[in-house]
Chain A
Amino acid sequence: MQTSFRINHDVRKQSKSASLKLDQWLIYSIMACITVIVFLPMLVVLFASFKTAPQIGNDFPLQLPSLTNLNLENYMVVFTKGKILLGFKNSIFLVVISVAVNALLGTMTTYCLHRFDFKFKKTLIALFALGMVIPGQICEIARFSIMSRIGVYNTIWAPVIIYAAADLMQLYIYMQFIDKIPVSLDESAMIDGATYFQIFYKIIFPLLKPATATLAIIKAVEVMNDMYIPYLYMPSAKLRTVTTTLMSFSSSQFSAWEYLSAAIVVVMVPTILIYIVFQKYIFAGIVAGAVKE
């Protein structure tokens, strides 16, 4: 009796582990397929960026470029004639300014909306909500004439203003965070004689730092990747961002795949490095930002 039971048990265990192995095999092959799909277009571009035009014409796209005699000419063109570094400079400037402006205005607005009651508060919140509903590019049809009238067209301030005025997602993120800061903290500070201004910059602003970090991540990704606003409002070659520099590559005299490929790689690599380092925060930030809708 005992032995038969035992054998039975063993058999079950064995078949279970066998099916587990099959499952695992299936799972890993699915994931391998996905990985190939993700990397395939990027690898083609990476390889092409080290090849000459005739090589791109003759080689199979996934053939490695010759490593002994690496062709860096395409990259030279991207950095010299393409002026990609200027693009990075402008993009980084835009990111820094936008994050600073949005963090400041966002925390200030949130403090007022969350901690105080006042006339027209509901109207104001409704107007902010309106800003979230209107699709970005569509609004430019009407915004375009305003921007030229106030004289920011073709200056770096046009995108700064639009990012500050129209991206209201930060309000949502800050609102969620400030909700967790107890009002009693404000009250005890008031008893100690703090003014509202002091409460803001000594308590609320510092305690909202994690939300600001989230905002900074989302904003940086958005601003670096934004195409249409810089394209529409900053046609000047001096004001090109990373994205519009890349676009100039495809429409200008260097519109050959070898140069464009090198430019794509130069644009992708910093983002991928930042992504690898800050992955955890990027996941958290993007998820928090998406769930708002």
Chain B
Amino acid sequence: MNSLKTQKNVLLITFLFIPVLLLLVFVVYPTLKLLQTSFTSWDGFSEVQQIIGFKNYKDLIFNSKEIWVSLKNNFLYFIIHLGFIPLEIIAAVILNSKLRGMKFFKSVVFMPYIINGVAVAYAFSFFFSPVNGALNEILKMLSLEGWIQNWLSNPSVVNYSLVSVSLWRYSGFHIVLFLAALQSIPEDIIEAAVVDGANAFKRLIFIILPSIKIVVELMLFLNLRGALQVFDIPFVITQGGPGTASSTFALSTIQMAFKYKNFGMASTMGISLIMMIVVFNWVQKNIFGLKEGK
């Protein structure tokens, strides 16, 4: 019995040593470090880190207009993706029908998610480009010259262009998640509804939507967290430009650190982002009562 206990301890120590070490050094320590740096004005290389208390937090809230603008851009990603959820559900319902060719369409719809994100970003830079860009050329061909835009350099348009890239990339992924949820609805429930005379619309409202409620809620929060963390698309396509018009919160945070060498403020922003995510997770678990793994 005793030897079994020793064996267990040896196993736990040998098996957990590396994972725990990695966790402590590369996740826990940086997080604490981030918290500590958020109270300093550190520039990233000085030996001394001057402690300035809550100044960064105060500046972030009261004194940082561009950062609030970037947070507003995050909100745009959230709202537009939110508006697409009903369309995504309808697409998933269609793909779930037993019509011919649906497997093919499912593959097509999901493909953008699998492709390298940087390749996608550059393909769209080309697509939206003011010089030889496909979108403007196509508009010209359709005699819609009035719609021609500087899609990526007009500050009031650029965010919509970038959100459309995000939609192109992620909608298929959402559709496949909804589809997986739909496929878990037992078929006899739907058949019973058909026998009772429920038409497609009624089936959608009274049977399908209630059965995939959990996935819809999950998607709301995936969308919220995703929108809060948008980074790749603006980073590659516009670098947040023109000016800071298309910056997002994560992008401004990274630029604050690596471009403007203000690691103190960047850490404050990082901690604020983590806090927002934690709050949303808490709301998801406690208010919506979603248990992890369901």
A residues with a Cβ closer than 8 A to B are: 23-24, 27-28, 30-31, 34-35, 37-42, 44-45, 48, 56-57, 60-62, 105, 108-109, 111-112, 116, 118, 124, 127-128, 130-131, 133-135, 137-143, 145-146, 161-162, 164-166, 172, 176, 195-197, 200, 221, 224-225, 227-228, 232, 242-243, 246-247, 250, 257, 260-261, 264, 267-268, 271-272, 275-276, 279, 282-283, 286-287, 290-293
Find residues 171-194 in chain B having any chain A CB closer than 8 Å to their own CB: 172-173, 176-177, 180
Interface bin, chain B: 35 or more
The answer to whether residues A290 and B26 also contact, given A138-B274, A196-B8, A271-B114 and a CB cut-off of 8 A, is no
B residues with a Cβ closer than 8 A to A are: 7-8, 11-12, 15-16, 18-20, 22-31, 33-34, 37, 44, 91, 94, 97, 99, 101, 105, 107-120, 122-127, 129, 132-134, 137-138, 141, 168, 172-173, 176-177, 180, 200, 218, 221-222, 225, 228-229, 231-232, 235-236, 250, 253-254, 257-258, 263, 266-267, 270, 273-274, 277-278, 281, 292-293
Chain B minimum-CB-distance residue to A30: B94
The complex places the Cα of A39 from the Cα of B127 at a distance, in Å, of 12
- A165 & B22 in contact (Cβ 8 Å cutoff): yes
In the assembled complex, how far is the CB of residue A193 from the closest CB belonging to chain B, in whole angstroms? 12
- A246 & B116 in contact (Cβ 8 Å cutoff): yes
Chain B residues with Cβ below 8 Å from A105 are 18-19, 22
Pick from A44, A135, A232, A271: contact of B273, CB below 8 A. Answer: A135
Pick from B30, B200, B273: contact of A146, CB below 8 A. Answer: B30
- A135 & B176 in contact (Cβ 8 Å cutoff): no
- A37 & B114 in contact (Cβ 8 Å cutoff): no
User: Interface SS of chain B: helix, strand, loop or mixed?
Assistant: helix
Chain A minimum-CB-distance residue to B134: A61
Chain A residues with Cβ below 8 Å from B126 are 41, 44-45, 48, 257, 260-261
Q: Total A-B pairs in contact (CB under 8 Å)?
A: 236
